[in-house]
């Protein structure tokens, strides 16, 4: 018996936080959900997780940490009614089947998402993620294997083409499978994150969905910077929802309908929350330098931010971050 397909019960338009490597772990998801307005964020994703790694006896222990959900995050998910989806990637249908079974049986996720859009060259060279756009038969086999391994709703995150726009043939290939949802980034693999987002191609994908498989829930993705723009893009393209990724780097409070200028104190408080939670969660299992990419997110837009950031970049552990910030506040006070 299949579990609930939560995608069909989400409000329209809904908003999702996109899966991002070394970003959307349990710590960052909790930080963002904590400061999001009730009802403004509906779906969050794990970091992308290798199916080969999950199936490898020796590598599994490290890889599976990408799917960690802290008890405090679990509590927030329930309080705010936000759904959590595990994203997986690879090239071997059998590994997708086994990974889907493992996640479904042993973890508490609301859905599974297959990455067919990551443009990073070292991943594409393996024939995975966006490279699957060039291998439509294998892509369908992967989807089918995943569906056979789970009773959770299965979604796909992809792009409008590989080295050229291929919306018609590629979307048709995906929409003819049994997926529950499809998120479309409006660039080709070759463009990575540069150049214009082709929202007209996302609208084309929606029209195709309406003809081929109206039950599939559609999301658009690409450089959306606030909730107002998310709703506008959804309305103009006909998507059911919008996925926001890098927009959260410009404004961690993006999932709030009413925006206001954040004080330096609010920004450094959020940085400290993130740092403490990162340290408590990962201890020495994750390189502390991963955290440093977030310093620019929190420490910007106020006098002295650049100098403070430079000092923080020299920190090696959470206690140093706390001391640097407390020293700064004491001097200013």
8 Å CB contact between 159 and 126: no
Token pair of 274 as six digits:
């993130």
* Strands annotated E in 103-180: 111-116, 154-159
CA 177 to chain centre: 23
Say how far apart CA 27 and CA 280 lie, in whole Å: 10
Please count the CA atoms within 13 angstroms of the CA of 89 that sit on its side-chain side: 26
Going by the DSSP 8-state scheme, the letter that residue 185 receives in this structure is E
Q: Which of 295, 267, 280 is nearest to 26 (CA)?
A: 280
* Burial status of residue 107 (CB atoms within 10 A of its CB: 0-12, 13-18, 19 or more): middle
- Is position 118 annotated as part of the catalytic site? yes
- End-to-end CA gap in the chain: 61
* Strands annotated E in the chain: 14-17, 43-50, 83-89, 111-116, 154-159, 181-185, 217-221, 241-244
CA of 98: how far to CAs of 45, 88, 108, 143, in Å?
Answer: 20, 12, 16, 13
Catalytic residue selected from 118, 227, 315, 325: 118
> Which residues have CB under 8 Å from 208's CB, separation 6+?
167, 168, 171, 172, 175
Q: Which of 191, 51, 166 is nearest to 114 (CA)?
A: 51
Residues with a catalytic annotation lie at 118
């Amino acid at each position: 018996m299949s579990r609930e397909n939560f995608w069909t019960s989400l409000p329209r338009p809904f908003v999702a936080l996109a899966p991002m490597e070394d970003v959307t772990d349990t710590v960052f998801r909790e930080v963002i959900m904590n400061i999001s307005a009730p009802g403004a964020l509906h779906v969050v994703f794990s970091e992308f997780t290798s199916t080969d790694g999950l199936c490898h006896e020796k590598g599994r222990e490290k890889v599976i940490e990408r799917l960690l959900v802290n008890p405090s995050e679990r509590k927030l998910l329930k309080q705010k009614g936000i759904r959590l989806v595990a994203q997986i990637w690879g090239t071997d249908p059998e590994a997708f089947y086994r990974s889907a079974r493992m996640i479904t049986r042993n973890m508490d996720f609301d859905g599974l998402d297959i990455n067919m859009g990551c443009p990073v060259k070292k991943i594409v060279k393996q024939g995975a993620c966006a490279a699957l756009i060039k291998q439509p038969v294998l892509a369908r086999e992967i989807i089918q294997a995943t569906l056979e391994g789970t009773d959770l709703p299965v979604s796909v995150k992809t792009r409008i083409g590989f080295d050229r726009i291929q919306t018609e043939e590629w979307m048709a290939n995906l929409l003819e499978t049994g997926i529950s949802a499809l998120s479309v980034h409006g660039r080709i693999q070759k463009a990575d994150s540069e150049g214009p987002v082709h929202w007209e191609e996302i609208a084309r994908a929606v029209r195709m969905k309406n003809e081929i498989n109206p039950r599939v829930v559609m999301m658009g993705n690409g450089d959306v910077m606030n909730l107002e723009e998310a709703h506008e893009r959804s309305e103009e393209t006909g998507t059911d929802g919008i996925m926001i990724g890098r927009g959260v780097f410009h404004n961690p409070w993006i999932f709030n309908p009413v925006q206001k200028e954040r004080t330096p104190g609010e920004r450094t408080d959020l940085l400290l929350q993130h740092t403490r939670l990162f340290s408590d969660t990962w201890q020495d299992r994750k390189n502390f330098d991963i955290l440093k990419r977030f310093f620019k997110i929190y420490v910007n837009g106020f006098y002295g931010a650049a100098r403070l950031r430079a000092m923080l970049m020299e920190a090696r552990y959470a206690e140093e971050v706390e001391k640097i910030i407390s020293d700064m506040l004491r001097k200013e006070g």
